Chains A and B, each alone.
Chain A
Amino acid sequence: MAFRLLSRILRASQKSGLSVSSFSKLRVSSHYLMNACRLSSSAPKPQKETINVTFLLRDGEKQEVQAKVGDNLLDIIIEHDVDIDGFGACEGTLACSTCHLIFKQSDFDKIPDKPTDEELDMLDLAYGLTDTSRLGCQVVLTKDMDGLEVTVPTGVADARGGPL
């Protein structure tokens, strides 16, 4: 709850034009806010349920993380410092395709929210698009996705033919 409140404050501050790239200011204020929220929330933080998620990275390495149910895959990749160059460039605002991930068919079918037109529009620009591709920022984890394995596509030719 405190976190949600915090993110709302931050978003509001971003909207008011406080932060965009002025990091020094953002850092100070966000640090302050974080502490303020910690102090104000006396109730114990509810432990979120977690599931196992494995990322098959571009270099063939695997990285397994304990991911919180209710988070989306972009959040999880950031929170667990999964090292994927250029991932999530637009920060989950459906303005790029850099958080493209590929799922196994059975996992793909388990994702409760079907892609919107806007997500499909961005996926159309993704490198190595498949029938079981989704944007990580739009995939929210549910309990029954435990054991999920997602492949991070390699930067092969763009679906539109890419730069000439």
Chain B
Amino acid sequence: MLARRKATLCLGKFLRFSVCASKSQPEKCFLQLLTPALRRHSSQSGPQHSVAIVGSGPAGYYTAQQLLKGDPGLVVDVYEKLPVPFGLVRYGVAPDHPEVKNVIHTFTQTAQNERCNFLGNIEVGRDVSLQELRNAYSAVILCYGAAEDRTLGVPGEDLPNVISAKSFVGWYNGLPEDKDLPVNLDCESAVVLGHGNVALDVARILLTPINMLEKTDISEHALDCLRRSKVKRVHLVGRRGPLQVAFTIKELREMVKLPGTRPVISPQDVQGLDKIIKDLPRPRRRLTELIHKTGTAVRPGSEEVKEWTLHFCRSPQRILTSAGGDVAGIELVVNRLQGETLESQKAVATDEREILPCGLVLRSIGYKSLPLDPSVPFSKGKNIIDNEDSRVKGEPGLYCTGWIGRGPVGVIADTMNYAFDTGRTVLQDLDNGRVARRELGCRDQLLNKLRSKAVTFEDWEKIDMAEMAAGEKIGKPREKLVNVEEMLQVACR
């Protein structure tokens, strides 16, 4: 049934695309990004002013979509540090979730709008300063996400094979900076610290049968390593209880159904949950029901060779090493929960300690954004840009959205709604004169300066084709290029 629905939908999408195809769209080359050429192809009034977006992930492209729709006189330039677009959709979404990456189709439509330009391989702060952007554009919207992750601050954290889940995700997704991450899967047990969706993603990648991963766009270097993996058990450790987990039900259900793998949740941990469940709001109720059901399910003589375990109310104290200096285990402190309302309960450490043997530790306790420029007010506590409804405090014409604006949480749909709101805010401010419109001349000069370095969207399409062709040869939808130099070569820069 679902397959049939998918088929009809695919047709719907196809029709939409074929409508696009019937409109002749001029090929954009970099010269044409400049305004006079653009003006010829554009509506009578032509573009009058421009906005810069810093970051080409979901926040960037959804904001661009809203801006282009709302103001036919606006040109949007999307700046990206890497030669390739789409941020965490390309480098964060798990390779076995290709359906989530369908948003790329919408981003591509936006990017192919003649008033939208992609400037890849341009890093703000290195190739162009924020001040230069602010001088050239009516508004600058920062949506560069979260480049780092939070650390534990426990002894042993810097040992080999104690790895941030963020880097691990970047590694299997072919992010250039993580391609050489030293990952050693020559151990039977791995510990993942954290109970969020990233924690479930990395656990799933560690346990998924290799023949399933081979059909995804997971990077070949990671696949090679996973082929030789000896990991049989993954322990997911959270500091709070089953009612406070941050992962979503879709990801948990996927884990429960993972072929050849057995879920382990201690019946003790879910004891009494059934009495609370009915009073919870629906999403938390259904999620807790699934945890409870999994914890109490009887699995007689199961044949699964691998397993994953949810451990609750445990916080890491230190990483233990073997005589040879390898990771040998992790010492955990047992927490108890304190607080009135269930969802806001806090973990308080007791005196009880326990040791979990393992050879790999993945830290998945949240991402962290970094400041871009000293001129941008940054809240160190929250690790976000100080802003009110996307307007950067005290800096008219400067905006932020996505994870840099609200913190690194939520699914793509959350970022989408936030970005749409940001787009509307910017349009409003431009409309009512709160932010002055700048002529296009200064922006054209800047593009001239960046021309020799920037990767355009058409360049990216060459990379895209090359990656898909490389994938086809080995039965994968895509084999990503993992070297920036190689990407630039394919893009003929």
Stretch from A39-47, A124-132, A142-150 contacting the other chain:
A124-132
Q: Is the CB of B7 within 8 A of A121?
A: no
Number of A-B contacts (CB under 8 A): 187
Q: Is the CB of B286 within 8 A of A20?
A: no
Question: Is residue B158 contacting chain A, with contact meaning CB distance below 8 A?
Answer: no
Q: Is the CB of B414 within 8 A of A162?
A: yes
Contact of B10 among A7, A21, A24, A124 (CB under 8 A): A7
Q: Is the CB of B12 within 8 A of A95?
A: no
Q: Is the CB of B5 within 8 A of A164?
A: no
Question: Is residue B177 contacting chain A, with contact meaning CB distance below 8 A?
Answer: no
Contact of A6 with B249 at beta-carbon distance under 8 Å, contacts A86-B413, A125-B283 already known: no
Once the chains are docked, how many angstroms separate the CA of A13 from the CA of B223? Answer: 24
Write the nearest CB–CB distance from A95 to chain B, whole angstroms.
Answer: 4
Contact of A162 with B410 at beta-carbon distance under 8 Å, contacts A18-B468, A26-B17, A124-B287 already known: yes
Q: Is the CB of A137 within 8 A of B9?
A: yes
- Which of B22, B282, B287 gathers most chain A CB within 10 Å? B282
In B1-45, the 8 Å CB interface with A consists of 1-2, 5-18, 20-22
Cβ-closest chain B residue relative to A78: B12
Cβ-closest chain A residue relative to B8: A75
Once the chains are docked, how many angstroms separate the CA of A21 from the CA of B61? Answer: 14
Contact of A86 among B8, B420, B468, B472 (CB under 8 A): B420
Q: Is the CB of B5 within 8 A of A159?
A: no
Q: Is the CB of B21 within 8 A of A90?
A: no
Once the chains are docked, how many angstroms separate the CA of A72 from the CA of B421? Answer: 28
Question: Is residue B451 contacting chain A, with contact meaning CB distance below 8 A?
Answer: no
Contact of A121 among B21, B249, B420 (CB under 8 A): B249
Cβ-closest chain A residue relative to B384: A164
Q: Is the CB of B103 within 8 A of A20?
A: no
Kindly list chain B residues whose C-beta atoms are within 8 Å of the C-beta of A20.
101, 104-105, 464, 468, 477-478
Contact of A7 with B102 at beta-carbon distance under 8 Å, contacts A26-B17, A89-B416, A118-B250 already known: no
Kindly list chain A residues whose C-beta atoms are within 8 Å of the C-beta of B14.
6-7, 10, 30
Question: Is residue B367 contacting chain A, with contact meaning CB distance below 8 A?
Answer: no
Question: Is residue A25 contacting chain B, with contact meaning CB distance below 8 A?
Answer: yes
Question: Is residue B99 contacting chain A, with contact meaning CB distance below 8 A?
Answer: yes
Once the chains are docked, how many angstroms separate the CA of A4 from the CA of B418? Answer: 37
In A13-67, the 8 Å CB interface with B consists of 14-18, 20-28, 30-31, 34
Q: Is the CB of B413 within 8 A of A96?
A: yes
Once the chains are docked, how many angstroms separate the CA of A155 from the CA of B410? Answer: 14
Contact of A163 with B414 at beta-carbon distance under 8 Å, contacts A30-B21, A124-B248 already known: yes
Contact of A72 with B9 at beta-carbon distance under 8 Å, contacts A17-B477, A27-B17, A98-B413 already known: yes
User: What does the 1/0 interface line of A1-13 toward B look like (CB < 8 Å)?
Assistant: 0011011101100
Once the chains are docked, how many angstroms separate the CA of A4 from the CA of B11? Answer: 8
In B89-113, the 8 Å CB interface with A consists of 97, 99-109, 112
Once the chains are docked, how many angstroms separate the CA of A75 from the CA of B9? Answer: 6
Question: Is residue B356 contacting chain A, with contact meaning CB distance below 8 A?
Answer: no
- Which of B1, B12, B476 gathers most chain A CB within 10 Å? B12
Contact of A22 with B465 at beta-carbon distance under 8 Å, contacts A30-B17, A30-B18, A90-B99 already known: yes
Once the chains are docked, how many angstroms separate the CA of A117 from the CA of B293? Answer: 14
Once the chains are docked, how many angstroms separate the CA of A98 from the CA of B287? Answer: 20
Kindly list chain B residues whose C-beta atoms are within 8 Å of the C-beta of A4.
7-8, 11
Q: Is the CB of A138 within 8 A of B5?
A: yes
Kindly list chain B residues whose C-beta atoms are within 8 Å of the C-beta of A85.
65-66, 69, 420
Q: Is the CB of A27 within 8 A of B416?
A: no
Question: Is residue A69 contacting chain B, with contact meaning CB distance below 8 A?
Answer: no
Write the nearest CB–CB distance from B85 to chain A, whole angstroms.
Answer: 9
Once the chains are docked, how many angstroms separate the CA of A159 from the CA of B128? Answer: 40
Q: Is the CB of B97 within 8 A of A159?
A: no
Write the nearest CB–CB distance from A157 to chain B, whole angstroms.
Answer: 10
Kindly list chain B residues whose C-beta atoms are within 8 Å of the C-beta of A11.
6-7, 10
Question: Is residue B411 contacting chain A, with contact meaning CB distance below 8 A?
Answer: yes
Q: Is the CB of A163 within 8 A of B477?
A: no
Question: Is residue B417 contacting chain A, with contact meaning CB distance below 8 A?
Answer: yes
Kindly list chain B residues whose C-beta atoms are within 8 Å of the C-beta of A138.
5
Q: Is the CB of A16 within 8 A of B414?
A: no
Kindly list chain B residues whose C-beta atoms are within 8 Å of the C-beta of A34.
18
Contact of A164 with B100 at beta-carbon distance under 8 Å, contacts A17-B477, A75-B8 already known: no
Kindly list chain B residues whose C-beta atoms are within 8 Å of the C-beta of A28.
21
Once the chains are docked, how many angstroms separate the CA of A71 from the CA of B8? Answer: 7
Kindly list chain B residues whose C-beta atoms are within 8 Å of the C-beta of A113.
1
Write the nearest CB–CB distance from B78 to chain A, whole angstroms.
Answer: 15
Q: Is the CB of A95 within 8 A of B97?
A: yes
Once the chains are docked, how many angstroms separate the CA of A70 from the CA of B8? Answer: 9
Q: Is the CB of B471 within 8 A of A17?
A: yes
Contact of B418 among A26, A92, A163 (CB under 8 A): A163
Q: Is the CB of B8 within 8 A of A7?
A: yes
Question: Is residue A105 contacting chain B, with contact meaning CB distance below 8 A?
Answer: no
Contact of A27 with B21 at beta-carbon distance under 8 Å, contacts A75-B8, A89-B103 already known: yes
Once the chains are docked, how many angstroms separate the CA of A85 from the CA of B472? Answer: 34
Kindly list chain B residues whose C-beta atoms are within 8 Å of the C-beta of A30.
14, 17-18, 21
User: What does the 1/0 interface line of B412-432 toward A look like (CB < 8 Å)?
Assistant: 111111101100000000000
Contact of A95 with B105 at beta-carbon distance under 8 Å, contacts A10-B10, A86-B420, A127-B417 already known: no
Question: Is residue A106 contacting chain B, with contact meaning CB distance below 8 A?
Answer: no
Among all A-B residue pairs, the 7 with the closest Cβ atoms: A93-B99, A92-B9, A124-B283, A27-B21, A7-B11, A75-B12, A163-B410
Q: List 8 A-B contacts (CB under 8 A).
A: A7-B10, A31-B21, A90-B99, A91-B13, A91-B99, A92-B5, A121-B286, A124-B249
- Beyond A10-B11, A127-B417, A158-B414: 4 further Cβ-contacts under 8 Å? A10-B10, A86-B413, A92-B5, A137-B9
